[in-house]
Amino acid sequence: MGLRKKVPAGPYTPETHPQMRMPSLQVGSLYIMISVPLPVYLGRQKHSYPTAIPSSPGFPHSTYELDVTSGAYPEEFHWDLYLHTSSTPDGGSGIIYRLRNTGTRPPTYEYDRIPTFRVLTHAQLVGLVRVVSVPRSVVPHLTRYLEWMTEDTAKIAQRSFVWATMAYYRTRLHLAKAMGIRDHTFNQFDISRFTSELLSFAYGEVPGVLLGAETGPRPVIDSWMGAAIDFLEDDDVLATRRKRDELMRLQKERFGAVSACWYQ
């Protein structure tokens, strides 16, 4: 098995990292599911969404999740997880893992696991961002892990954005360990880049949801910060080993020691 990663070379901007649109949902893929809260969707609660990532230097890209957690910044979307488990011509099916505010003060959250069909047609949905992809044979393992992890972490969750983001982070770490894969870019995961990518997508799509101007399935994109686990063909295995050996040779020549390699 091998782990494919798409790590931005520099700070995320829509210009340097264009959205990678996907034509359909893929079985074995885990998505960040972004939707508009029902009171905002129905017009009972007013909220002004930016049309793009704010250009102001004061916008808290790197601390958005902390400010949301502390209440300094509103949680303007529902951030859920969606695992696509079956594809059919009418849109397929999967499982939504979500948190919802119970309306108490201080805020508490209720965890739900919801089997669903045709998720891209849900009324409040802004869109889906794929963050993890595994082969079909790994789907049962991934499902069991998500069933346990999402419910367990929901017990101490304070905001759905932080919960969903860290669930992806934990899932990626778990899969790498369970599959025996060395993910040396894992520690390079940048929450500010990931936040910027999610918000850029959400802010760009939310006007159509609120105005009801768009019909049909909602959009799906592949995250620049996502990871895909694949079975490698023999030629790919050999090529990967050659790249590993070359990397190790260069590191030894330059630094006198090997600090990291890709795969065993």
Tell me, yes or no, whether 127 and 247 share the same domain: no
Give the largest Cα separation in the chain, rounded: 64
- On whether both 194 and 64 belong to a single domain, the answer is yes
46-64 b/e with 16+ CB inside 10 Å = b?
A: eeebbeebeeeeeebbebb
Measured from the Cβ of residue 256, the count of other Cβ atoms closer than 10 Å reads: 7
Half-sphere CA count of 257, side-chain side, radius 13 A: 1
Beta strand 78-86 with 2-5 is unpaired
Residues 182 and 246 in one domain: no
pLDDT surpassing 90 at residue 83: yes
Q: Do 66 and 20 belong together in one domain?
A: yes
SS3 5: strand
Kindly report, residue by residue over 113-165, the tens digit of the pLDDT.
999 999 998 988 999 999 999 988 889 999 999 999 999 988 887 778 888 98
Closest alpha carbon to 229 in 66, 36, 1: 1
For residue 64, give its domain range.
2-231
What pLDDT score was predicted for residue 57? 55
Domain shared by 123 and 109, yes or no: yes
Pick 215 or 218 by higher pLDDT. 218
Give yes or no: residues 216 and 241 share one domain: no
pLDDT tens digits for range 229-256: 775 444 555 566 676 677 777 777 777 7
Same domain, 127 and 96: yes
C-alpha distances in Å from residue 133, one per residue of 156, 171, 231: 27, 11, 12
Average pLDDT for 190-196: 79
Task: Give me the pLDDT at residue 183, please.
Answer: 62
Overall pTM > 0.75: yes
Same domain, 223 and 264: no
* Domain shared by 255 and 187, yes or no: no
pLDDT at residue 70, rounded to an integer: 56
What are the start-end ranges of the E strands in the chain?
2-5, 20-21, 29-35, 78-86, 93-101, 109-117, 125-133, 220-230
Could you tell me if 195 and 224 lie in one domain? yes
Asked if 83 and 195 sit in the same domain, the reply is yes
pLDDT at position 240 is 60
Q: How many domains does the chain have?
A: 2
CA distance 259 to 187: 14
State whether 261 and 162 are in the same domain.
no
